[in-house]
């Protein structure tokens, strides 16, 4: 089972469509033939992948803040989406230390606003709400976190994602658990994504690209931190497959069962892709020669040093598994930047080509798919 035909002609609301992951997902949905309405704040970076792909003219582009309930309710009432992918968020751990109120308001109350607007509309709709692998109470051990492990979070960002998961679970059980409910809700938790077009400040890959482009050494602040690195297309394929699977399951989806499709899912890489920041930078330098410096700061705000995800549930229920290993993910990421830094107009063709290449690889690995 795949999603090649599921989204064609469907109305899809995508929050956070001006962001890095949102722009990649918008592009993929357009390739699949969906009618996409994006709701988000303006792009927060310059350049921005959203602008590089010319998405403002290719989707129904709405600027709005999910912290404003009336805005999101109006969009849902007017557009009547059949699918919602909720990606809008404050996505940075370190920024959450300086802007905790904004982080909680966006990540927690924004999720409440979305689910409440969907509930009040009471129309057939599948909601895939994206949180983070950092939603778990991270004890920084080698054990891989499973979907039923405790939710928590040390910092404002991580705890806001944990709180969002609690909101999603409460809404699902309180309002959408009946088989008669036209609304079905699942959540998705992904690892650390990399890929072309991420221009955010204070993230290791875009920070590295900016330094390399200027001929400067990369400043690495947390070289021993170990992360589950994966190309952005990996979790996006999981989100799309999860939505398609719920759609095909129809009214037989028993949302009150913890093991059902209407629940939380991890989408992470294989354990061999759990590498340190230093290893990631060294792999990147194989494709864009340069140097790096250790700028570790013992007084820096706390960031987790170890976090792994178990993806058995996604494999068993969705037949999802990673396609590109760590080396391939870095290769594709570096290739995107090398081509698009040299020629900014190449972004649409390079992005579409990588989606095509990923889809072809997925067809080989996931033999049951018609992606």
Of the pLDDT bands very low, low, confident and very high (cuts 50, 70, 90), residue 301 is: low
The pLDDT score that the predictor gives to residue 165 is 96
The pLDDT score that the predictor gives to residue 199 is 96
Catalytic residue, candidates 136, 145, 157, 239: 157
Beta carbons within 8 Å of 164's beta carbon, 6+ residues apart: 107, 108, 111, 129, 131, 135, 187
Q: Give residue-wise pLDDT tens across range 32-68.
A: 999 999 999 999 999 999 999 999 999 999 999 999 9
Q: Give residue-wise pLDDT tens across range 312-331.
A: 999 999 999 999 999 999 99
Give the number of C-alpha atoms closer than 13 A to the C-alpha of residue 156, restricted to the C-beta side.
Answer: 20
- Is residue 203 scored above 80 in pLDDT? yes
Q: Using N-to-C axis directions, what is the helix angle for 326-342 and 204-213, rounded to 10°?
A: 40
Percent of the chain with pLDDT over 70: 91
3-state SS class at 143: coil
The alpha-helical segments, DSSP class H, found in the chain are 20-31, 49-52, 69-79, 93-98, 100-104, 110-121, 156-175, 204-213, 233-249, 277-285, 312-318, 326-342, 347-365
Average pLDDT, whole number, for the chain?
A: 90
Compute how many other C-beta atoms are within 10 angstroms of the C-beta atom of residue 167: 22
Of the pLDDT bands very low, low, confident and very high (cuts 50, 70, 90), residue 253 is: very low
Give the number of C-alpha atoms closer than 13 A to the C-alpha of residue 209, restricted to the C-beta side.
Answer: 24
Q: Which two tokens stand for residue 342?
A: 């040299």
CATH number at 11-191+231-269+306-324: 3.40.50.720
What angle is formed at CA 329 by the lines to CA 287 and CA 106, rounded to 5 degrees?
115
Q: Give residue-wise pLDDT tens across range 276-285.
A: 999 999 999 9
The pLDDT score that the predictor gives to residue 192 is 87
Closest CA to 185 of 116, 263, 260, 247: 263
State the average pLDDT over residues 299-308.
Answer: 63
Task: Compute the Cα dihedral for 193, 195, 201, 203 and give only its sign.
Answer: positive
Q: Using N-to-C axis directions, what is the helix angle for 347-365 and 326-342, rounded to 10°?
A: 160
Identify any residues that bridge with 155 across adjacent strands, giving them in sequence order: none
Of the pLDDT bands very low, low, confident and very high (cuts 50, 70, 90), residue 91 is: confident
Place of tokens 């966006």: 106
Q: Is 157 an annotated catalytic residue?
A: yes
């Amino acid at each position: 089972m795949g999603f090649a035909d599921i989204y064609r002609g469907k109305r899809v609301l995508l929050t956070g469509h001006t962001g890095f992951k949102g722009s990649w997902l918008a592009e993929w949905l357009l390739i699949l033939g969906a009618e996409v309405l994006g709701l988000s704040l303006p792009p927060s970076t310059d350049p921005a992948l959203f602008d590089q792909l010319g998405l403002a003219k290719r989707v129904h582009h709405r600027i709005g803040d999910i912290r404003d309930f009336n805005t999101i309710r109006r969009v849902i009432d007017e557009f009547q989406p059949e699918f919602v992918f909720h990606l809008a968020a404050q996505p940075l751990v370190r920024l959450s230390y300086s802007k905790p109120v904004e982080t909680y308001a966006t990540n927690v109350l924004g999720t409440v606003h979305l689910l409440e607007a969907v509930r009040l509309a009471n129309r057939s709709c599948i909601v895939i709400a994206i949180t983070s692998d950092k939603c778990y109470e991270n004890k920084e051990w080698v054990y891989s976190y499973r979907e039923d492990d405790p939710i928590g979070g040390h910092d404002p960002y991580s705890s806001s994602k944990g709180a969002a998961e609690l909101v999603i679970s409460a809404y699902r059980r309180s309002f959408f658990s009946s088989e008669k409910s036209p609304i079905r809700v699942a959540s998705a938790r992904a690892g650390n994504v990399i890929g072309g077009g991420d221009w955010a400040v204070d993230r290791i890959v875009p920070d590295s690209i900016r330094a390399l482009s200027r001929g400067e050494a990369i400043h690495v602040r947390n070289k021993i931190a170990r992360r589950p690195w994966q190309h952005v297309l990996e979790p996006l394929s999981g989100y799309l497959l999860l939505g398609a699977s719920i759609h095909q399951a129809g009214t037989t989806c028993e949302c009150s069962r913890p093991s059902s499709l209407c629940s939380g899912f991890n989408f992470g890489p294989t354990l061999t892709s759990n590498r340190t920041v230093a290893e990631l930078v060294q792999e990147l330098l194989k494709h864009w020669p340069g140097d790096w410096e250790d700028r570790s700061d013992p007084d820096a705000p706390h960031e987790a040093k170890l976090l792994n995800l178990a993806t058995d549930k996604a494999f068993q229920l969705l037949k999802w598994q990673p396609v590109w290993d760590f080396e391939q993910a870095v290769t594709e990421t570096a290739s995107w930047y090398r081509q698009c830094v040299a020629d900014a107009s190449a972004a649409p063709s390079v992005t579409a080509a990588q989606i095509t290449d990923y889809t072809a690889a997925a067809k080989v690995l996931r033999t049951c798919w018609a992606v």
